[in-house]
Structure 1
Amino acid sequence: MFCNTNLTGFHFTLIMSRATKKRFVMKELDTQFILPESNQLIAKCLASRGNNLHEVLDQKGDQYLASMPTKFRNTVWIKRGQYILVESIEEGDKVKAEIVNILDSENILHIDANGQWPESFADEVEKLKRSTNKKGGEDDIDLPPGFSDDESEGDENEADESEDDEEEEEK
């Protein structure tokens, strides 16, 4: 990435190294919650066809090739079945879209919460909701081995009984 700036007569060019580029792209993918714009579609990756081309199935049911932009090349890999955000392009017969963003589970849930997740992929959101409920539910509190809520309630009852016994002995 080149950045040309002119500060009081000096001309600087910033060249981003491969490692810096990878960190920048990965941070961008991890931290941003993306909502599809009017010219963008959500698609499911069906297969990788090589040369940074991926066969996708979009929310309308159309199947075509989508190209990986240069900022993602050799930095991010798309797995079969993963959801992506694509933007249609006019040129080309076979390649009809370019990948804008790769959607992770958090981004998918964010899009669904805003009511923009397509009905054709609704089953994926249900799977994600079930898996997050299993993993992060309030009922799944990590307790030390051998400790349960029933035991703790029993301990309180035993403490109350011992206090009652002490009071009876004093009388």
Structure 2
Amino acid sequence: MSQATKRKHVVKEALGDFVTPTEKQQIVKVTGSRGNNLHEAVTARGVTFLVSMPPKFRKNLWIKRGDYVIVDPIDEGEKVKAEISFILYKDNIQYLQKQQLWPEGFTVEPDKEPEKAEETEKDEDFSGSDDDESDLFVNTNRCNYQYSESGEEDSQEEAS
């Protein structure tokens, strides 16, 4: 199977299917990347451990800090305790919340996020009222031309 076909099937599975965790699986929140396809995760109870990303997800799907995943436990690992079996997106999270399968330890966080968004909007409105252009991007690859609106150019044109 070619890489493009494999990617198509993996993405279709991840975005289209709504899964529920089995008895052995659990929902965890990714708190950071440790490299070599290892990610640090925390459970709803606050237990932190490493999870590995299986080869089918590598270079096809990306996860970042704050994402939620369903993991399968690994018995033989000392540091790596689980393997990611499914990446949860907004639609998946809403589905699990409707099914009453979402861990209560994670339910507090979505309520806090809209408050933070409102605060940042207020800050943006306040900072947007200033007409200060000092924070604009300056392209260092172009020559800076100084434009002046003085009467010198007009007087030179009139004299000739």
**1:58 Cα offset (Å):** 1.2
Deviation at 1:60, TM superposition (A): 2.5
Cα distance in 1 for partners of 2:52, 2:9 equals 21
CA RMSD of superposed structures (Å): 1.7
Change (3 A) 1:126 1:106: farther
Q: One-letter code of the match for 1:75?
A: N
Look up the match of 1:42.
27
Task: Provide the rounded CA distance (Å) in 1 between the counterparts of 2:38 and 2:10.
Answer: 19
TM-score by length of 2: 0.68
Aligned to 2:92: 107
Equivalent of 1:85 in 36, 48, 70? 70
Q: Which residue of 1 aligns with 2:12?
A: 27
Q: Distance in 2 between matches of 1:127 and 1:24?
A: 35
Q: Is the 8 A contact 1:45 1:81 kept in 2?
A: yes
Question: For each residue in 1:93-141, what CA deviation from the matched residue of structure 2 results, as whole angstroms up to 9, or x when unmatched?
Answer: 10000001000000001001000101100024446899xxxxxxxxxxx
Which has more strand, going by share of residues?
1
Question: What 5-or-longer segments of structure 1 have no aligned partner?
Answer: 1-15, 131-171
Letter of the 1:102 counterpart = I
**Alignment correspondent of 1:116:** 101
Identity %: 48
Structure 2 residue 35 is the aligned partner of structure 1 residue 60: no
| Alignment length (residue pairs) | 115
Q: Distance in 1 between matches of 2:86 and 2:105?
A: 19
Q: Which runs of 5+ in 2 are unaligned?
A: 116-160
Question: Partners in 1 of 2:113 and 2:27 — Cα distance?
Answer: 16
CA contact (8 A) 1:105 1:128 kept: no
CA pair 124-110 structure 1, distance change in 2 beyond 3 A: farther
